[in-house]
Amino acid sequence: MNSRREFLSNTTKAGLVMGLVGTGILTSSCAVAKGTQSGIFLTGFAQTPLAYDFTALQPTIDAMTMEIHYTKHAAAYASNLASAATEEKVDISKPLENVLANISKYSVKMRNNGGGHYNHELFWNIMSPNAGGKPEGKLAEAITSSFGSYEAFVTQFENAAKTRFGSGWAWLIVTADKKLVVSSTPNQDNPLMDLAEVKGTPILGIDVWEHAYYLNYQNRRPDYVTAFWKVINWSKVSDRFVAAI
């Protein structure tokens, strides 16, 4: 996977592979979903294989939750997104981000499933086993300058995640003027959408739908949110930050 991703970091080749996927010649979602183009992370329309086992994030996220979340919930978003793309004649050789930026022009089905697919692709990517710790380098500096301290950022992010009413996501985003901001969105909306209250490029996100934590935490969403820091892959978040600024 790593060498595959490095291969895809070449802009021209990533474009070529995405084009091939669009024609149906390549169907591996691994090949399409995580390239870089124009300095930003791009998302394809198919699920990327998980880079770790369902058991890998235990005890923070239990194996059954991971398996059901990835193979049922997230798979359904990808499948329904594919059907919405066919119905609405979306060119799936182009990044999903293009659709999200203009989501108000599409159906509710596209909004829910395009957002759902994008959000989960990001979520799997910014977590890993043996993770946690704190951000380093430019990201650490930007967090301190934007929030006052790392601890202040943690508090703000946790509050956004804990207080999102019903289902949704909390985010750390880079705004158009390159500032770091914490926000949250309902349902499967995200900050890339033209109808988002707070817009920007997400570099970190937590799924606070009950399906993301209920088997292990039941009603204790705050415990899940607090434990989430143990599985964040800051190196990936940092890559996204650098690509977004």
| Contact between residue 204 and residue 170 where contact means Cβ atoms under 8 Å apart | no
Q: Which is nearer to Mn ion, 35 or 115 (CB)?
A: 115
Shortest spacing between CB 67 and Mn ion, in angstroms: 13
Residue count, binding to Mn ion (CB under 5 A): 3
Shortest spacing between CB 148 and Mn ion, in angstroms: 31
Give the rounded distance of the alpha carbon of 232 from its chain centre: 12
Shortest spacing between CB 209 and Mn ion, in angstroms: 5
Q: Which of 95, 143, 207, 217 binds Mn ion (CB under 5 A)?
A: 207
Q: With binding defined as CB under 5 A, does residue 189 bind Mn ion?
A: no
Q: Which is nearer to Mn ion, 10 or 187 (CB)?
A: 187
User: Where does this chain touch Mn ion (CB under 5 A) — which range of 35-43, 177-185, 204-212, 226-234?
Assistant: 204-212
Q: Which is nearer to Mn ion, 118 or 153 (CB)?
A: 118
User: Where does this chain touch Mn ion (CB under 5 A) — which range of 52-60, 87-95, 157-165, 199-207?
Assistant: 199-207
Q: Which is nearer to Mn ion, 121 or 207 (CB)?
A: 207
Find where tokens 């934590």 sit. 213
Query: Three-state secondary structure along the chain?
Result: CHHHHHHHCCHHHHHHHHHHHHHCCCCCHHHHHCEEECCEEECCCCCCCCCCCCCCCCCCCCHHHHHHHHHHHHHHHHHHHHHHHHHCCCCCCCCHHHHHHCHHHCCHHHHHHHHHHHHHHHHHHCECCCCCCCCCHHHHHHHHHHHCCHHHHHHHHHHHHHHCCCCEEEEEEECCCCCEEEEEEECCCCCCCCCCCCCCEEEEEEECCHHHCHHHHCCCHHHHHHHHHHHECHHHHHHHHHHHC
Shortest spacing between CB 77 and Mn ion, in angstroms: 8
Q: Which is nearer to Mn ion, 135 or 205 (CB)?
A: 205
Q: Which is nearer to Mn ion, 14 or 51 (CB)?
A: 51
Distances (CA, A) of 218 to 196, 223, 224, 225: 29, 10, 9, 13
User: Where does this chain touch Mn ion (CB under 5 A) — which range of 99-107, 133-141, 151-159, 206-214?
Assistant: 206-214
Shortest spacing between CB 29 and Mn ion, in angstroms: 17
Q: Which is nearer to Mn ion, 142 or 225 (CB)?
A: 225
Residue number of the CB closest to Mn ion reads 207
Residues in touch with Mn ion (CB under 5 A): 207, 209, 212
